[in-house]
Amino acid sequence: MAETIQNVPKRISGAILNSLASGVVPRTGLEYIAIGRTREIAAILEDLDTVAEGGSAFRMISGRYGSGKSFLIQLMRSHAMERGFAVADADLSPERRLAGSNRQGLATYRELLRNLSTRAAPDGGALPVVLARWISKIQVSLAREKNLAPGSQALADAVEVEIMAQIASLETLVHGFDFATAVRCFYRGTVEGDDERRQAALRWLRGEFATKTEAKSLLPVSGIIEDASWYDYLKLIGELMKLAGHTGFIVFIDEAVNLYKITQSVSREANYEKLLNIFNDATQGRLSGMAFIFGATPQCIEDQRRGFYSYEALRSRLSGSRFAQAGIVDFSEPVIRLQPLTPEEITALLKRILYIHSRHFDWDPQVTDEQIAALVKNLAGRMGAEALLTPREIVRDFTGLLNILRQNPSESFDSLAARLDIRPADAEASQDKTNPYAEFTL
């Protein structure tokens, strides 16, 4: 194990440990602590292969709070970038939905564009980087092909003609003409040194204009990105990513449980209708080189009163095969249901965290493999552990235990471990308290 993770840069190991101690998923360095989920990862990688060939995919990762949904999503985000995909991710919330009457859908689009990432810009904000690299690639290609001098007007005109030729296909799509116009304005602003026009084009593409009047005063467009149209523009962003040379465009949307929490049935069903549209587009071939991957809880999906299953069209599409039961799993289904990590996998994960912790802080924790194995065995043997124990809780408390040991040399691992009391995730526990009859049926 040590040989495989010994070269973790300190900035990454610090980010890993800080995130784990806080109970959140690190944005970087996930490959150093990835344990298990082999078949789930293989299934999503097959989807990426399909997208790379011009196809599309839809997946929903289902798991309890703290079971590893967000970890798997962030891990696949890293895998996708390494394979040359452009990726975008967002967490849904009361302010960010798939549909809404108060710009909640537009807020989701803005968050996705803010987190747009590529291998060259892995931390988000990649849209100007993608556009600049695409333009630069066209400039270099035409300068060589037509023997035009760099910086000449002839080269600038030739590049604009090539850009217009490449984005002509976008103009035939819904809202494609305005989208192509904004891309052209970005180019003209870049070559003419007009930063105001360039920034206006970026603002328009990111959905940051509040009114059509404001947008028209700066750009020759007829409209702006709004709640009703954000999904159409996201598909155009996917087409642009492919034109810019990326393998495809992968969209990750986590915390879909916030759709389930919408109290008004009309608003909730409007979001389910948008989710159905995305599912149909991805599975019926109406998308090209694009995939959507959602994260949701089992209750959010399967509750037939308010969950996705309450919307019959979604229930019929997301329900698993009746033959996939009694331990038989079909990873070709749209919903990937995460199984609990085994005690052996949790033990291996804690060993990796121990090693990273010791290297990052340059200390020698007096913790043996046998002690870790005994701790996991003790936790796994507690009543209800299979249903209540999740990787997030174990990892968070174990990382905190190591922090305490390092700062308090007089304490021992065994004495601290004996006090460890891991409880269900607060979010899920509170949800159960607010809805005590969620599972009651007549």
Shortest CA distance to 255 belongs to which of 98, 432, 123? 98
**What b/e sequence results for 213-235 when a residue is b if at least 16 CB atoms lie within 10 Å of its CB, and e otherwise?**
eebeebbebeebbebebbbebbb
Coil, strand or helix at 102:
coil
Surface-to-core class of residue 261, CB atoms within 10 Å of its CB (0-12 exposed, 13-18 middle, 19+ buried): middle
Tokens of 159: 């590049």
Coil, strand or helix at 387:
helix
Helices (H), 38-175: 38-52, 69-82, 104-114, 127-146, 153-171
CA distance 183 to 189: 10
> What is the residue type of 184?
R
CA distances from 434 to 133, 261, 269, 429, 431 (A): 51, 12, 22, 9, 5
Coil, strand or helix at 61:
strand
Helices (H), 250-342: 257-260, 265-283, 298-302, 312-318
Tell whether pTM > 0.95: no
pLDDT in the model for residue 441: 39
pLDDT in the model for residue 393: 86
pLDDT in the model for residue 427: 40
Helices (H), 284-384: 298-302, 312-318, 343-361, 369-380
Element housing 254 (H / E): strand 249-254
Per-residue pLDDT 10s for the chain (442 aa) are 444 566 789 999 999 999 999 989 998 899 999 998 999 999 999 999 999 999 999 999 999 888 899 999 999 999 999 999 999 999 999 999 999 989 999 999 999 999 999 999 999 999 999 999 999 999 999 999 999 898 888 998 899 899 989 998 888 889 999 999 999 999 999 989 999 999 999 999 999 999 999 999 999 999 999 999 999 999 999 999 999 999 999 999 999 999 999 999 999 999 999 999 999 999 999 999 999 999 999 999 999 999 999 999 999 999 876 666 656 778 889 999 998 888 899 999 999 999 999 999 999 999 999 999 988 888 877 645 565 568 888 899 899 999 999 999 999 998 888 776 554 444 444 444 445 444 443 3
Surface-to-core class of residue 332, CB atoms within 10 Å of its CB (0-12 exposed, 13-18 middle, 19+ buried): exposed
